[in-house]
Amino acid sequence: MNGQVRVAPVRVAIVGVSGYAGIELARLVARHPSWNLVAAVSDKWAGRPLGEMLPVGGRAAAVSCIGQGEAPGTFAGAELVFLCTPAEVSIALAGAALSAGARVVDLSGGFRLAAELYPRWYGFAHERPDLLATAIYSMPEVTGNAAALPTAALVANPGCYPTASALAVLPLLRAGIIDRAGLIIDAKSGTTGAGRKGSEEMSFSEVEGDFRAYRVFRHQHTPEIERALSMAGVGGDPVTFTAHLLPTRRGILATAYGRLRPGKTGADATAAVRAFVESRPFLRTAAPDAVRLQAVVGTNRVLMGADADPERMVAIGFAAIDNLVKGAAGQAVQNANLMLGLEETAGLESLSGSMP
């Protein structure tokens, strides 16, 4: 364990517990060996025990959900607050949680970008640039700022697409296999990535049996991918990113294309990925055609692979994640563990998927 051993469990609150990320997070918090869920916030589930709404056990099952209007009153009783709310709501609530003495991990896009980027990419002006300036954006295997987490009060948890995309391409960039200029990332996500809201375009009859791109050239995760790569020391150039909607519930597969540098080979690309995953507990390697969603869904793992074609001067990197675990709640737990001086894998190491 990193740091001091705690005797009392960490008191945790989840705001937005009835959304997909919040549901996944409640499952993880309920089984975490060092945490105790003390508050669950959801207007939709207000007044109902969490165990009645979700298959969680132990003390978490008895926690009665409260409405969002009551959330600020619970912050004083929590040491750690997870915000699983829309970006504008997270921006409004983060200050109240911090003022109450809690530490915050925000799963929304509320604190991921520079303030001047919010009007273009999120459609609103950021109302708390003071908090934004203090937020630590942390993708543990990429951003290289884990040492800042033990003293961080506000951590911006990365988006699902940026997590898969950055990990698909970073090993190749770090090892000098591909050029930084001209990166193209094409990623596909299950429907839970769109959140738990009703709309015609996300209904079963519209999604089942279909496949399409969306938010072309205007997806809010584009600048976040660029920021993550910049923090990793390999950014600075624009990235072309396109998101696609898969007719499945969960998982993301990111495919990254880069211009192969002279003299580099497919063996070099494979070696770069193998070297990158070493000593990183949630990263795994596979042959490119074995990087698949079923191998990671339900876990905090990332399955990665790469290959290159010297004749065509191109290299391709792949990464598969569960968009709700490594892409949201699992990475939030991972970040919180690092904030609190716990083992990075605490509460996450025993997650298992359901690959046939």
244: which strand partners? 188, 213
* 38 band by pLDDT with thresholds 50, 70 and 90: very high
The pTM of the full predicted model, rounded to 2 decimals, is 0.94
The domain of 36 spans: 10-134
Give the pLDDT confidence score for residue 3 in this predicted structure: 47
Residue 272 lies in a domain: yes
Per-residue pLDDT tens digits for 173-192: 999 999 999 999 999 999 87
Give the pLDDT confidence score for residue 209 in this predicted structure: 79
Domain at 166, CATH number: 3.30.360.10
Give the pLDDT confidence score for residue 199 in this predicted structure: 66
Give the pLDDT confidence score for residue 193 in this predicted structure: 73
Residue 334 lies in a domain: no
Beta 103-106 vs 154-156: how paired, if at all?
Answer: parallel
Return the exposure string of 19-50: e unless at least 16 CB atoms fall within 10 Å of the residue's CB, then b. bbbbbbbbbbbbbbebbbbbbbbbeebbeebb
Concatenated DSSP letters of 15-80: ESTTSHHHHHHHHHHHH-TTEEEEEEE-TTTTTSBHHHHSS--HHHHTPBPB-GGGHHHHGGG-SE
Residue 164 and residue 130 share a domain: no
Question: Phi-psi region for residue 59, left (φ > 0), alpha (ψ -120 to 50) or beta?
Answer: alpha
Residue 276 and residue 197 share a domain: yes
How many other CB atoms are there within 10 angstroms of residue 58's CB atom?
A: 12
Residue 314 and residue 170 share a domain: yes
Residue 170 lies in a domain: yes
Give the pLDDT confidence score for residue 144 in this predicted structure: 93
Residue 306 and residue 178 share a domain: yes
State which of 81, 116, 134 marks the end of a domain: 134
Query: What stretch of H or E contains 254?
Result: strand 252-259
The DSSP secondary-structure symbol of 109 reads S
For residue 321, pLDDT over 90 is answered with: yes
Residue 51 lies in a domain: yes
- Residue 251: CA count within 13 A, CB half-sphere: 20
Residue 84 and residue 14 share a domain: yes
Domain tally, the chain:
2
Residue 146 lies in a domain: no
Residue 108 and residue 169 share a domain: no
Q: How high is the mean pLDDT of the chain?
A: 94
Alpha-carbon torsion (193, 26, 159, 278), positive or negative? negative
Domain at 117, CATH number: 3.40.50.720
Residue 299 lies in a domain: yes
Q: What is the mean pLDDT of residues 141-167?
A: 97
- Residue 193: CA count within 13 A, CB half-sphere: 28
Per-residue pLDDT tens digits for 187-209: 999 987 766 565 666 666 677 77
- Angle at which helices 20-31 and 330-339 cross, to 10°: 50
Residue 235 lies in a domain: yes
Give the pLDDT confidence score for residue 207 in this predicted structure: 72
Residue 312 and residue 166 share a domain: yes
Give phi and psi for 10, each to the nearest 5.
-75, 130
State which of 134, 149, 177 marks the end of a domain: 134
Residue 189 and residue 101 share a domain: no
Residue 149 lies in a domain: no
Residue 228 and residue 122 share a domain: no
Residue 315 and residue 195 share a domain: yes
What amino acid positions are annotated as catalytic residues? Answer: 160
Contact of 243 with 219, CB cutoff 8 Å = yes
Tokens of 92: 């409004």
Give the pLDDT confidence score for residue 1 in this predicted structure: 44
